[in-house]
Copies of this chain bind each other. A is one copy, B any other.
Amino acid sequence: MGGRRRPTMADVAREAGVAAKTVSRVLNGEGPVAAGTRERVLAVVGRLGYRPNLMARNMRVGAADATVGLVVPELGNPFFGAVAGGVERVVRARGLTLVLGCSSETAALEQALIATFLARRVSALMIVPSAAAEHRHLRAERAAGLPIVFLDRPAAGLTADCVVSANRQGARTGVAHLLAHGHRRVGFIGDRPAGLHPRRERFQGYRDALEEAGLPADRALVATGHDREAAAAAARRLLALPDPPTALFTGDDLATTGAVVALSGAGRRDVALVGFDDPPLAECLDPPLTAVAQDPAGMGVAAAELALSRLDGDRSRARRTVIPTRLVVRGSGELRPAPGAPRPAPS
């Protein structure tokens, strides 16, 4: 019990009465090996419980390690869990192993993780950058040929591949859905730091939709909440305005659930709601929630495929892949504006 030295290839070789290289050949199915020798070697391998040391192999082969590094802000968040799942599937299918770290949305932790991964000589790097992070320091790595793909949010201070949701278009479609049902005052509630890429883009999409409809952008209808409770409070605040919105558009999952809590808590079945991210029980709500669904697993898959194509030698210029969103219409976006509000007939 307890920590006997692991058998090495040399042990196997000695025991089998062959040279180490022969063991290597057997294990890697390389050059020609006599059937008898092969069997003898495999028998010893089994008996000794020998496991090849991948680190040693990689080092000798000189190649980068057969791993890709992924940094996400938080694994507990189902969105990033799904992203990581997508990455893992692709990476694994290619025979690579996923090395994973959580930055807790902290630039310092993110950088430490990246440093660790680089020291491990990962074959590729995929990063969901935290809000405050800076990536200038990765320029040399990129120049040296390391594939680096940013996920969900673009890099700061670095031109690099990037995979994002169709945030702006998705928000525009969601808000347009509300406008198409007669709403003229639509509130916006965002949660993630206002400077964050997805939040900015979604807000832009909100404004795009208003502008297309010839409606003014009223700053009083824009609110922010840093968590579910804050988002709920923001929703209540908006609804308490002298000239309140008749519909809400929420910019992310926390804001959406916050708004749902606020509306259901207040019994306000008359306020329409459309929001980013499609939570599992959306269709069980009353009214059923109309949502802009993202495809996090698809984002992970796309990012991993992009990284692998770089690994395969694709040297074309950095590109941004946009993963479409999908408006899932279930009813909460079709409520009528509160009585008294202007209500043009749909064209």
Q: Which residues of A contact B (CB under 8 A)?
A: 1-4, 6, 49, 51-56, 58-59, 65, 67, 74-78, 80-82, 84-86, 88-89, 92, 97-102, 113, 115-121, 140, 143-145, 257, 260-261, 264, 279-286, 297, 315
User: Quick one: given A102-B88, A315-B2, are A264 and B286 in contact (CB under 8 Å)?
Assistant: yes
Cβ contact within 8 Å between A55 and B120: yes
Cβ contact within 8 Å between B84 and A100: yes
Assembly stoichiometry (copies) = 2
Q: How far is the CB of A122 from chain B (nearest CB, A)?
A: 10
Cβ contact within 8 Å between A121 and B53: yes
Cβ contact within 8 Å between B101 and A92: yes
Cβ contact within 8 Å between B75 and A81: yes
Knowing that A75-B75, A81-B84, A85-B102 are A-B contacts, what are 10 other residue pairs whose CB atoms are under 8 Å apart, sorted by A's residue number? A6-B144, A54-B116, A76-B78, A76-B85, A76-B297, A97-B101, A261-B283, A279-B280, A280-B280, A281-B284
Partner of A99, one of B4, B97, B315: B97
Of A77, A102, A119, A281, which is in contact with the most chain B CB atoms at under 10 Å from its CB?
Answer: A281
Q: Which residues of B contact A257 (CB under 8 A)?
A: 280-281, 284
Q: How far is the CB of A145 from chain B (nearest CB, A)?
A: 4
With A and B bound together, what is the CA distance between A290 and B58 in angstroms? 52
Partner of A101, one of B76, B98, B264: B98
Partner of A119, one of B54, B80, B143: B54
A109: nearest chain-B partner, CB-CB:
B92
Q: How far is the CB of A268 from chain B (nearest CB, A)?
A: 13
User: Quick one: given A3-B144, A67-B99, A286-B286, are A84 and B75 in contact (CB under 8 Å)?
Assistant: yes
Cβ contact within 8 Å between B65 and A88: no
With A and B bound together, what is the CA distance between A56 and B55 in angstroms? 8
With A and B bound together, what is the CA distance between A1 and B141 in angstroms? 10
With A and B bound together, what is the CA distance between A85 and B101 in angstroms? 9
A145: nearest chain-B partner, CB-CB:
B3
Q: How far is the CB of A228 from chain B (nearest CB, A)?
A: 9
User: Quick one: given A144-B6, A285-B285, are A100 and B100 in contact (CB under 8 Å)?
Assistant: yes
Of A58, A74, A88, A285, which is in contact with the most chain B CB atoms at under 10 Å from its CB?
Answer: A88
Closest 10 CB pairs of A and B: A81-B81, A75-B85, A3-B145, A78-B78, A76-B85, A54-B119, A281-B281, A76-B82, A49-B140, A2-B145
With A and B bound together, what is the CA distance between A98 and B98 in angstroms? 9
